[in-house]
Each structure stands twice: as structure tokens, then as C-alpha cells.
Amino acid sequence: MSNSEPVTSPPGGGKRETARRAKTRERLLDAAYRQFCANGINGTSIEAITDDAGFSRGAFYSNFASKEELFVALTERENRTQLEALRERFADVLAPLGRASGKPGPDVIEDVLADVLAFQPAGRQWCLLNSEFRLLAMRNQQIAPQFLDSTRAFHRELAAMVDTALAEVGLRFVVDSVHLTRMLIEQFETSMEDAILAGVEDTERAARENIMLTLPQLVHSLTEVAEPGNAEPGVGDPQASAQRS
């Protein structure tokens, strides 16, 4: 009979290792964000990312199989971060819509939209990074499906969040909320791109001012007071929005 005893890990050792690995992964993602914004995805090497993060190539490959896998992880993280930031305050931000007598006017909607846009990430950097994401996905058919799935999931979750918040104040959209959410996001992104191309110093402000010329009136025209028990399936219905692609 052997006198040897089984080797055991120190208490909590596995948790510390998991936490350390997660921290390394986040630092690599942060470094990739900075490098991709500054140099583009194709212009950024793995060495540039690891040098920025203060790690070796080994640390990179312990977390990601390739730069493309890191790209997908970064896309998902940024979408998740935006949703979490909005979710924390969304009900409070939309509350003024419920204080109006009947359907809120464009001026009230404009104030609400300004608050929503204030929760968006750093506009110029995010616009550059998102453009890089889209270009790489269009050029690389191996990661295109993952990018598309992540983007569609973001639109569905955001639309469901909007539907729920509107329902709580007695309102609903008269068109498909997922399609409308996508259209509004694309309008903001286009305004950001125009501001960057024009060399405007405060791109976020310029983009907000541009979309506010039409967005409040557009949202007003596509919103109505919800009649209790008379919600049309798939329109203004939070559960239906969550199921649509």
C-alpha cells in the first residue's frame, strides 16, 4: 500500500487563478481596443497588443487562439457594456415620457434622447472601432456570422429594453421595434462618421446636434399611447421583440 498522499491545491487557489486569468483577458481586450482605434485591426499586430497590455505572446495565446477570436470577444464585450450601462438607468431616463398628458411631444422626446445618448461610449473611438469591426467582418466570411449574430442580439436586447420601458409609461412603437432600433443606431453612427470626416473637434456634440434635427420628430410620429390589452403582436411587445432577429 502506498504511503503517498494525493496532491491538493491550496484553498482558493483555483479561484485566484481564474480571477488572474480574467484580469489578464480584460487587460488584453483593453489594449486591443486602444490599438485597434489608433492603428486599425489589420494594422495592429499581436505584439502591439501584448506590449500595450504588458504581457507576452504566451499570455495572449492562453486566452485567444487568434486576433480574430479576440475581435469577436471585444465586439461582444463592448455590446454588453453598452447594454448594462443603459439598463441601469433606462427606466429613470424614460420616466419623463410617462408624465406627459397623453402622447409626449417632440420636445420631451428630445430631452429623453439626449439623456440616452449621454450613456453611449466615447463617440469618436467607438465609431472608429465599430467601423473596423464591420469592415473586418465583411472581408472575413469566417467571422462574419459571429459578428452578425452579436450585432443582431444587441439590437434585439436593446429593442426589448425600450419596449419594456415604454410599456411601463403607457406607450408603444407603431412599427417593429427591432427594425426601428437598428435604424436609430445607424443614424447616430452615420452622424458620428460625418462629424469625424468633417474634422469637427467635438464629434459627439456635432453628431447629437445633427440627429436631433429629425430624430425627436421621427420618434414622436412612430409612438402612440398604448391601449390596455390591445397590443398588436410583434409591435410594441417586449416578448415579441426579444424573439425577433
Q: Check whether 101 has a pLDDT greater than 90.
A: no
Same domain flag for 27 and 137: no
Shared domain for 105 and 146, answered yes or no, is: yes
Inside any domain, residue 148? yes
pTM for this structure?
0.76
Both 60 and 98 in one domain: the answer is no
| Same domain flag for 115 and 158 | yes
Q: What is the mean pLDDT of residues 39-68?
A: 93
Instruction: Give 141-190 pLDDT, tens digit per residue.
Output: 888 998 899 899 999 998 998 898 888 888 899 999 999 999 988 888 89
pLDDT tens for each residue of 32-50: 999 988 898 889 999 999 9
Are both 34 and 80 inside the same structural domain? no
Residue 34, in any domain of the structure: yes
Contact 150, 243 (CB under 8 A): no
Residue 122: what pLDDT?
59
Q: Say if residue 182 is in the same domain as residue 132.
A: yes
Mean pLDDT over 20-33 rounds to: 94
**Could you give the CA distance from residue 167 to residue 97 in angstroms, rounded to a whole number?**
11
Same domain, 137 and 156: yes
Least confident of 51-60, 86-95, 136-145: 86-95
- Domain span at 71: 67-243
pLDDT of 233 over the 80 cut: no
CA distances from 186 to 23, 48, 155, 212 (A): 33, 31, 11, 14
Bridge partner residues of 173 (DSSP): 223
Percent of the chain with pLDDT over 70: 84
| Judgement on whether residues 43 and 137 belong to the same structural domain of the protein | no
- Domains of the chain: total: 2
pLDDT at position 4 is 44
- Summarised one tens digit per residue, pLDDT across range 110-132 is 888 888 777 665 578 888 888 88
For residue 86, give Cα distances in angstroms to 66, 79, 90, 157, 170: 31, 11, 5, 11, 20
Do 40 and 142 lie in a common domain? no
